[in-house]
A and B are shown apart, each in its own frame.
Chain A
Amino acid sequence: MKFGKRIKEQIQESLPEWRDKFLRYKELKNLISSPAPVESIFVGLLNAEIDKFNAFFVEQEEDFIIHHKELQYRIQRLVEKCGHNDEMFRENISEIRKDIVNFHGEMVLLVNYSNINYTGLAKILKKYDKRTRGGLRSPFIQKVLHQPFFKTDLVSRLVREWETTMDAVFPVKVAEAEGYERCASVTSAAAGEGIFRNTVAALLTMKEMRRGSSTYSAFSLPPLNISDSDNVLRSLHLSSPIPIP
């Protein structure tokens, strides 16, 4: 039940267009709970879900690739245009910065999307095997590992590229310890806020999901390792509008 609740929360916090693209965990669970779950139906549903993930993921990825190039191009043009004109550069770069951060965020959310759905599939298969004393899980999950939506390498690569680009487009970091608290509430545009909220929710969800369960086994993930003394998360706790369990 825990995962079901978590994924529901995730979906609620996610970007609007994404909401119907997640795993229909509850429906699948209900199917399993029914008196005589038919394997072919169950597998059929799972395959349909996988197709859905693949289609969405690949399309998002395509959009990202296009946007990635366009953003690079924009920066290039700006750098050229500004030449030695630092002031002009500074003025124009702010918009681009926002776009970079939001773009980065969306890509990370796509990786998160992939992961959540994978986790959900793994869990639902586990439940199925438990219910039917069957061995559907292992071979099926093997197949899932080769699905397009699970292969997030490209998106991750783009994510990392933008992380390294940050230095070029952001000013040198000043002492920011006290600034974080103020900042969290100032998170700029609506789009950014949506992404930010979603990201925070995703992190918290992940933490919760890995905290340990009654069915903890060799197939379970270890607890999440984010030190609570971390500045970043501490500031989130202070100002995040998302209820923290």
Chain B
Amino acid sequence: MQGVCYVRCVRRLWGPAQASQILNVTNMHRSVRQLQHKKVMEDNKPWALISEVGGQGYIEEVTDIMKQHFQIICHKDFLQNPLLHGPKIQAMFVWNALPAPEPALLSSLPSLKVVANGGVGIDHLDVSYITSLGVKVTNTPGVVSDATADIAMGLLLASARNIVEGHQIAVNPNTTHKQCQMGVEVTGSTLGIIGMGHIGCKIAQRGKGFDMKIVYHNRSRRNVEDEQAVGASYHDNMDDLLKASDFVVLAVNLTPETTGLISHRELSLMKPTATLVNISRGLVVDQDALVKALQSGTIRAAALDVTHPEPLPRDHPLLGLPNVLITPHVGTNTYTTTRRMVQRMVENAVAALKGQTIPNEVKPK
């Protein structure tokens, strides 16, 4: 309303041509003020460092979640002028272990308050070191569990029933006569879960639907209700689980204690008809031992969503074995779960910056 009166006054006082000029300048000033106001609003959002959008980084669809609360800068852009950008950055989002929160990078982020990881595994983060700098560390447990349990079952079934091989035979332009190898029965078989945390329990729940007999090994035994809910039996001795299982699923987190947890000895305890499914971390398994076990028929097959490194070198023996199914760490790769992870990651970072209680703070041991 004020704007309209102003325009009328100017036009009455100065005549059309000059009024026009004055009004244009005024408009320009107003536009600039508006832009400055908007910029100030955006500038009020704290800066967050991310790896990249696309490539090995985030899918485009989730960037809006981050932008609601943060001004984001990609690692590549940051590196153009670390001295300029560094001090602005208060949060760092880590996705797929990138950007790597290493000393060189962290020392260029004097205002950093939080390293927020997308995903529950934090074996790639030196939590003690980061927190010693006065920076908080967060992860995203819970939101990853369903999708990860689903992939564990998907890998188990695909391996047991030779689904990939079957497809290849079904669509191969040359072979119509090749018989698909017989699979192994899932219903009624014994499922051994090593690591009965949030994800392990959800795997047990799913296994129960197939009338699988569920046995588990964990640092600590779960309570009776949890066990009865899925009909799971505790095996204090992991060796017993290995001997009894038709399918062994690894769902531990990676720590010094679980590194190389499954090696020659453990594989040799498994049934020759058994399948190993790994959805934890590649380093939990001694890969050389696994190759030998698969080649010699010590175990029937393996299905791995994780390896070390990721991806494996192109000449790695695991890639050539017919009884190995590998997926490129897709445990949480659904639009729904990815969005939830980014949302949780952002929530954690916002809480850290505001000095509020952080939903998923990771404290050093």
Partners in one complex: no
Q: Enumerate chain A interface residues (CB-CB to B < 8 A).
A: none
Q: Enumerate chain B interface residues (CB-CB to A < 8 A).
A: none
